[in-house]
Amino acid sequence: MDSISIKNHTLFTSESVGEGHPDKVCDQISDAILDRCLQLDPAAHVACETFATTNFILVGGEIGFQTGTKEEQEANVDKIMSEAETIARNVAIRIGYVSDDVGLNGYRCEFLNKLHAQSADINQGVVGEGVENKGEQGAGDQGMMFGFACNETPELMPATVYYSHQLLLKAHELRHDGKIEWLRPDAKSQVTIEYDGHKPVRIDAVVISHQHDQIIDGIDARASKENEAKVHAIIEKTLIEEVIKPVLEPTGLLDENTKYHINPTGSFITGGPDGDSGLTGRKIIVDTYGGMGRHGGGAFSGKDPSKVDRSAAYMARYIAKNIVAAGLSDRAEVELAYAIGVAKPVSIMVETFGTEKVEVSKIVDAVNKVFDCRPAGIVSTLNLKQPIYSKTASYGHFGRPEFPWEKTDKVDALKAAL
């Protein structure tokens, strides 16, 4: 992110990355394995990490099943061990990594499986057998999680990160539909918005770097510098006209001074895990609020909902969004903090940045009355023991109405509590 003064205004920048970004490939594989575990047992405990580089994928981590006999649980572990390779390959193929030419061939790349059973020491604190949580589900780890909401967009998301996601979703659509045949899977975007206080007033700059074929319209970009310039001109015009303008013109924030930076380094032919290695959990700011609002540091993908790194971050977003939707403030940031194996949060904080319509202490009291922030309460409230996580692993976890933490069904309850 970048913040500098212009007159009395401020510039703020957020980025997004596409499904073919190497880190996002890994997030999607980790969450696909998580979803398969939840299909076998909704109470499964999973912490799955993925690493990818040129024509190579590695998965590793811990898996534990809770339902059924010991033999049935062990059989499910064996099943995941045998299916993990197919799951990982299918993710790469779905994204579009299907040939050696793009650096990752889902059909034939090398694969290594280092998954194993979950530690019994961790498990006992989660399932209610720890020292301080007899009979009650405890947090799967210590830490603090943040949620954020603001009224800059109808989705109650910061405009910078929301529009960054929308640009790449549009490019994603055009690539998968075959309307722009030369697009390859890897992509990044960035949107800089000028703010007057908390109000977006114009888009100052847009950046898109999108991987592409070496030959476009019969022109080989690597044959000469002249050809590279011709190919770049085609890419620049296409992405501005087919991606940027359809997405951003309806906002009314583009103007004659908006700057466009399209593939600013020139050619972007080598990308994905071939251009840069990928790892689960390295795009936590892209996954959340684009730097607007704090982050507790915990990644989401590959973690089942017993791990508050993920579930409590979803709950914090749910709380913050309902606060703003209820008109209690224009902006809201919620912090939840936990101790491993302990059910009740050690703290709940609400920050409204001076935009509150009622006293913040009263909002905090209402939050405590309306929301059950114990791990089991979060899972129950948001119905998190279902295989929904693969869809979260690209284009952001928030601001998307298909996810249960995006509901604003506690607005009336918050108002009543006040």
Report pLDDT digits (tens) over 136-164.
788 878 899 999 999 999 999 999 999 99
Percent of the chain with pLDDT over 90: 91
Q: What tens digit of pLDDT does each residue of 76-85 get?
A: 999 999 999 9
Residue 178's Cβ-count burial label (10 Å; 0-12, 13-18, 19+) is exposed
Average pLDDT, the chain: 94
pLDDT given for residue 120 in this prediction:
65
> How far is CA 103 from each of CA 22, 270, 273, 360, rounded to the nearest angstrom?
11, 7, 7, 52
pLDDT at 91: 98
**Does the structure show a pLDDT above 90 at 6?**
no
In the predicted structure, residue 3 carries a pLDDT above the cut 60: no
> pLDDT value at position 238?
98
Token couple for 223:
């044959």
Position 213 pLDDT exceeds 90: yes
Phi, psi angle pair for 359, to nearest 5°: -60, 135
User: What is the pTM for the complete model shown?
Assistant: 0.94
Q: In what order do the strands lie in the sheet with 199-212?
A: 3-6, 9-17, 183-196, 199-212, 259-262
The C-alpha angle 318, 334, 299, rounded to 5 degrees, equals 75
Which of the four pLDDT bands, split at 50, 70 and 90, describes residue 135? Answer: low
Which residues lie below 8 Å from residue 133, measured CB to CB, with a gap of 6+? 125, 341, 342, 343
| pLDDT of the residue at 133 | 53
pLDDT by residue (tens digit) across 297-313?
A: 999 999 999 999 999 99
**226-239 residue pLDDT tens:** 999 999 999 999 99
Checking if the pLDDT of 122 tops 60, the result is: no
In 216-359, which residue ranges form alpha helices assigned H by DSSP? 225-239, 245-248, 272-275, 284-287, 308-325
**Which pLDDT value is given to residue 200?**
97
pLDDT at 5 over 80: no
DSSP 100: G
**Positive/negative CA dihedral, 209, 397, 354, 152:** positive
- Report the b/e string of 96-127 with b at 16+ CB within 10 A: bbbeeebbbbbeebebebebeebeeebbebbb
Give Cβ neighbours of residue 37 (< 8 Å, ≥ 6 apart): 44, 46, 63, 65, 76, 80, 304
- 407 pLDDT band (50/70/90 cuts)? very high
Whether the predicted pLDDT of 288 surpasses 70: yes
Q: Pick the residue with more confidence: 139 or 172?
A: 172
To the nearest whole percent, how much of the chain has pLDDT over 70? 94
CB atoms within 10 A of CB 402: 8
Q: How far apart are the first and last CA of the chain?
A: 36
**What local confidence, expressed as pLDDT, does residue 1 receive?**
45
- What pLDDT was estimated at residue 136? 77
Q: What is the pLDDT of residue 132?
A: 54
